[in-house]
A and B are shown apart, each in its own frame.
Chain A
Amino acid sequence: DVKVTQSSRYLVKRTGEKVFLECVQDMDHENMFWYRQDPGLGLRLIYFSYDVKMKEKGDIPEGYSVSREKKERFSLILESASTNQTSMYLCASIRWAATDTQYFGPGTRLTVL
Chain B
Amino acid sequence: GDSVTQMEGPVTLSEEAFLTINCTYTATGYPSLFWYVQYPGEGLQLLLKATKADDKGSNKGFEATYRKETTSFHLEKGSVQVSDSAVYFCALRGFNNAGNMLTFGGGTRLMVKP
Contact = CB atoms under 8 A, between A and B. Distances in A.
The judgment on whether A and B are partners is yes
Interface of A: 4, 31, 33, 37, 39-45, 48, 50, 56, 90, 92, 94, 96-99, 101-102, 104-107
A39 B9 CA distance: 10
A88 B45 CA distance: 16
Contacts of A106: 41-43
Contacts of B105: 42
Contacts of A50: 99
A31 B42 contact: no
Nearest to A56: B99
A33 B101 contact: yes
25 contacts: A31-B100, A33-B101, A37-B107, A39-B107, A42-B4, A42-B106, A42-B107, A43-B44, A43-B102, A45-B101, A94-B100, A96-B100, A97-B100, A98-B100, A99-B51, A101-B34, A101-B46, A101-B93, A101-B102, A102-B100, A104-B44, A104-B45, A105-B43, A106-B42, A106-B43
A94 B43 CA distance: 15
Interface of B: 4, 8, 34, 36, 41-46, 49, 51, 89, 93, 98-102, 104-107
Nearest to A45: B101
A21 to B, nearest CB: 13
Most central of A37, A39, A98, A101 by chain B CB within 10 Å: A101
Contact of A42 (B42, B43, B89): B89
A37 B36 CA distance: 13
A45 B93 CA distance: 13
A98 B102 CA distance: 13
B93 to A, nearest CB: 7
Nearest to A6: B43
Given A40-B106, A41-B106, A90 B100 contact: no
A96 B99 CA distance: 7
Given A44-B104, A97-B100, A107-B42, 20 more contacts: A31-B99, A39-B107, A40-B8, A41-B106, A42-B104, A43-B102, A43-B104, A48-B99, A50-B99, A90-B44, A94-B100, A96-B100, A99-B51, A101-B46, A101-B93, A101-B102, A104-B44, A104-B45, A106-B41, A106-B43
